[in-house]
Structure 1
């Protein structure tokens, strides 16, 4: 038998890990907005490097943490769509296809439909760590068995060229079922991990940058008129 963390413990660890990063993102966003108001300058590096919309694909491996011994690594693939609300914060919707297996005992195909809130730590840089957390639906092939779950994870992205990035990430998935591996035993539900290398394809950055710059020009022109008016006074 493999020792597994309880739901409350796993959820508590996830919240504790995410809270400092969420606070950091809020502080950074507030700082950028304050600087923009003072200097009438908006940061556009995010829109040059990335964009507000993302299609992503990934390939990697998955491993179960359940009721049997000797789990084995199996194939995992993913594709999805992400929308950035702000440079720091995005909503990610994804489809995941993978197998979970034990050596000489069990090998079953699964899929999951996940929605995550993702936090980019350094969105204006070529290299940015990121973390995410959310909920999803886990299902065996042909939807023979389904269960709700929550997941959380993190990774690192590198922008290779404009609007094109490479990422390495991992996630932890807690399934609200103890029958993921076909055996109900122990005092906690089944979990699994996934790790993958993926590609991000960004678009929509140019239009957002144009809107930002247009708004910046309007504010600057307005300030110049005010300066001239009060200068004459």
Structure 2
């Protein structure tokens, strides 16, 4: 095995691996550091200061899933998620600046210590200093925050890809879990639940590997492998979800005028406006990050064009083009009907060049009608008419100008918004005779393909 082959092999292994983690492998001990910030730490810290921070108590924000960590063999008593969610919530409330957290999780410890202080002060007052001030009263909370981690779903999405050729191969696998938290604010004056927010966060795990296994000569085996695994920490996912929940709770309160930010009406209205737009976008996204489009009109006008490729009796095939205008009406959520007007050129080089006009009638099935990206299939009858005299090199007795056909195809549609969409598609057109290219040869009828892109306008 020469040096060039080894270099190529190493490059392939490096490509198959996740470069960011592969070239930052830990080989030494790291000192303690401050905890990492999540994606929602910065938006929470960047909120404008509160007009009047609120005293808030958190007795318990617990793991309500009841799940234990999954293992391949045997059993474990380790929980699937952190049991310190209350501490994470208190830290998020403190970081926001909108709340004054009051210790309630270990109230018995606090009460015990205050009793010790009170007894000590009484002895001090009696024996040494009668003017010693009494112990201040405890703060009471205007709000109580309740809720918890209510769901931890594993393997909601799994997949991978791999290939191997002559002992050289690699693979990539991924798994997605999901954690869900609820947070509610309760008025201590009335017991009314003022607001409830619900936040979910996905947790990603990835594994990539590459390997080589081959006999390079008699009784000489060369074997090499490399790979990495990355697992998003569950604790950071919980922290991310809780910080998002705290921020949403603050903004929901500003929206309902339960509390306000410094800076007056303009600052509060701007906060509400940005939050409302963000909330609308997030509510349109379903499970698996599927983006749903609401209020899609039933009618659409489409403009499309692309490449046309004839497959007839001549061996020489040159690409032509087509342009199309169409109309569709959505009868049901998944089903629509419509028609197209077409102009198309078909080219067999010097043997045949033709220009055609046509009409198609199609029934279309949309697999994911409310998703922003949806596959679709369609089909139906059509009619093709030759325009002008074709440039041919054949007998005149074979000439024909009108053709019946059937077409079917499929593609992908993408909603830019509720009024505008784009599509890519491939289409197969079957002529009912063998005279499209003005030559009859063999038993198969002529046909052609369309490959195109289009723009849809909904109204």
Same fold (TM over 0.5): yes
Query: Counterpart in 2 of 1:214?
Result: none
Indicate which of 345, 352, 377 corresponds to 1:106. Answer: 352
Query: Counterpart in 2 of 1:133?
Result: 379
Question: Which structure 2 residue ranges, 5 or more long, are not aligned?
Answer: 1-291, 390-399
Counterpart of 1:186 in 2: which secondary structure? coil
Counterpart of 2:438 in 1: which secondary structure? coil
* Contact 2:355–2:388 under 8 Å retained in 1: no
Indicate which of 61, 66, 80 corresponds to 2:326. Answer: 80
Deviation beyond 2 Å, 4+ runs, structure 1: 45-48
Q: Deviation string for 1:69-91 (max 9, x for gaps)?
A: 11111111000100000110000
Q: Are residue 63 (structure 1) and residue 312 (structure 2) matched?
A: no
Structure 2 Cα separation of the partners of residues 199 and 68 of structure 1:
33
Two-structure CA RMSD over aligned residues (Å): 1.5
Count, aligned residues: 158
Query: Counterpart in 1 of 2:454?
Result: 198
Q: Are residue 184 (structure 1) and residue 430 (structure 2) matched?
A: no
Query: Counterpart in 2 of 1:215?
Result: none
Q: Which has the higher strand share?
A: 1
Q: Which has the higher contact order (CA 8 A, sep 6+)?
A: 1
Q: Which has the higher helix share?
A: 1
Structure 2 Cα separation of the partners of residues 64 and 147 of structure 1:
14
Residue 104 of structure 1 deviates from its aligned partner by 2.6
Could you tell me the TM-score, scaled by structure 2's length?
Answer: 0.34
Residue 102 of structure 1 deviates from its aligned partner by 1.0
* Contact 1:56–1:199 under 8 Å retained in 2: yes
Structure 2 Cα separation of the partners of residues 47 and 78 of structure 1:
28
Query: Counterpart in 2 of 1:119?
Result: 365
Counterpart of 1:71 in 2: which secondary structure? coil
Structure 2 Cα separation of the partners of residues 47 and 115 of structure 1:
27
Structure 2 Cα separation of the partners of residues 188 and 172 of structure 1:
15
Could you tell me the TM-score, scaled by structure 1's length?
Answer: 0.65
* Contact 2:293–2:372 under 8 Å retained in 1: no
Indicate which of 419, 430, 450 corresponds to 1:163. Answer: 419
Structure 2 Cα separation of the partners of residues 122 and 93 of structure 1:
21
* Contact 1:67–1:184 under 8 Å retained in 2: yes
Question: Which structure 1 residue ranges, 5 or more long, are not aligned?
Answer: 1-44, 204-233
* Contact 1:61–1:75 under 8 Å retained in 2: yes
